[in-house]
Every structure is written in C-alpha cells, then in structure tokens.
Amino acid sequence: MTRRRRHGDAGQAFPIYLTVVGGLLFLAFAYFAVGQAAVNRNGAQTAADAAALAAAQETRDQLADQWVLDVLDPDKWEAIFQGAGATDSCWRADQLAAMNDAGEVQCSPDGPLGYTVTVRANKSAGDSVLPVTSTTRAHASARAVIHPLCSFKPPSPTPTPEPSGEPTGQPTGEPTEPGDPGDAEHPTLPTLTCEDDIDWTLDPDNLTDLPGPEDLFDVHLADD
C-alpha cells in the first residue's frame, strides 16, 4: 500500500534543499574567486617576464653597440662578450612593468649578463566571496639572461721587432702590404662564428655589413 507523503515531510526537506543549493553556490563563487586570483597572478608574471627581458635586451643592445665601436680592436672583443662596458638597465624594467599594470619593481643585475626582477600587480583580484581577493595583489619574479652567440680566435700578440742594426731613418725590409697583421691601418680581424655555424668575415675597409645585436647575443628567461 502506498504511503501518502505528508505536508510536514516536504516542509522538513525544504531547508535541507536550501542548504545544499547555498553550498553549491558558495563553491561556485569560490572557484570563480580562485580563477580571478589565478588571472591576477598570471598578469603579474607576464609583467615580471617582460620587465626582466626588457632590461636584458637593453644591456644586449649596449654591448652590441660597444662591439661595433671597438670592431677594429679585437683585443677588446672578449671582454665585451662577457658584459664589460654595459650600464645598469633596470630603468627598462620599470617601464615595462608599468606598461603591464604592475609596480613596486625590484630589479637587480644578476652578474654582468642577467637581471632578476620582482613586481607587484597594481590591482587585486577583485571582490568575491573570499575577502582576501579584494585586498591581495599578486607578486611575481623573473630572471632574464644574455648569452653570447659568437666565438672567435683571439689575435696573436704582435711580436716585438728585432733590432735591424741599420741606421735610423732607413727602411727595414719590404713595405707592409695592406691587410697584413703588421699594418696598423688595415688590421686583420678574426672571423666571428655565430649561431648555426654562420661565419662573419669582417673586412676592415668595408664595415657596412656587421652582425646585429640579435646575431651577437641571445636574451631569454631562465629558471631560478
């Protein structure tokens, strides 16, 4: 025999139904808040990555410019490829962080060929059922490094000429041919071997076709 449902049973179930629905709604809003926080963290990480890369790229460009200035003095090349002569480029990190809606930038050189940057998002994740999301702003850090792409054989030291015994003012041997190592006006420049085994043969009399910054150095993010 079928038992009739009493109106009291339905009334008792209704509060339970409301509790279950309320709990599900809370979970839904909580997941949404977590998603908002994740987006906020991703935005901060993007800003940190861009800031670190910008600082490293500025230093790369400085080093490439310095190499062009000293291209006729290959004795200085090795130091340039190791980062000598570049100035602090953290000002570029500040610029890129601001462009990506982040601030409180902490930037420091990581040796002569790298930068570590930490930023804080300018905005919180927004209001939600989790009060912390309305006040917390995400932090993120990134490290960018500069990697030389080229190698070369350093020039041999110029030998000290032996005394000739001839009177001063008289020529000693045959005149130096242009392009010989002893010709100060036409030095022999080492061949640069860069990424993918690309050789740059440099003509001191025609320096219009030189490798660019991206040929000389690679800039990329690195793990901490």
Whether the per-residue pLDDT at 69 is higher than 90: the answer is yes
Q: Dump pLDDT digits (tens) for 146-155.
A: 999 999 998 7
Pick the closest to residue 178 from 155, 209, 203 (CA basis): 203
Whether the per-residue pLDDT at 216 is higher than 90: the answer is yes
Which pLDDT does position 13 carry in this prediction? 62
Please give the helix or strand (H or E) that residue 10 lies within, else none: helix 7-69
pLDDT band at 218 (very low <50, low <70, confident <90, very high): very high
pLDDT band at 198 (very low <50, low <70, confident <90, very high): very high
pTM: 0.70
Residue 112, amino acid: P
Phi, psi of 78 (to 5 degrees): -60, -45
Which pLDDT does position 49 carry in this prediction? 96
Pick the closest to residue 147 from 111, 118, 119, 117 (CA basis): 111
Whether the per-residue pLDDT at 23 is higher than 80: the answer is no
CA gap 30, 25 in Å, rounded? 8
Whether the per-residue pLDDT at 213 is higher than 70: the answer is yes
pLDDT band at 10 (very low <50, low <70, confident <90, very high): low
Which pLDDT does position 175 carry in this prediction? 46
CA gap 128, 33 in Å, rounded? 6
Contact present, 199 and 193 (Cβ < 8 Å): yes
Whether the per-residue pLDDT at 95 is higher than 90: the answer is yes
Domain boundaries, the chain: 18-157+180-222
Q: Dump pLDDT digits (tens) for 169-185.
A: 544 544 444 444 445 56
Q: Hunting for tokens 């291209």 — which residue is that? A: 71
Which pLDDT does position 156 carry in this prediction? 72
Which pLDDT does position 86 carry in this prediction? 93
For the chain, give the mean pLDDT: 80
Residues 6+ apart with CB under 8 A from 174: none
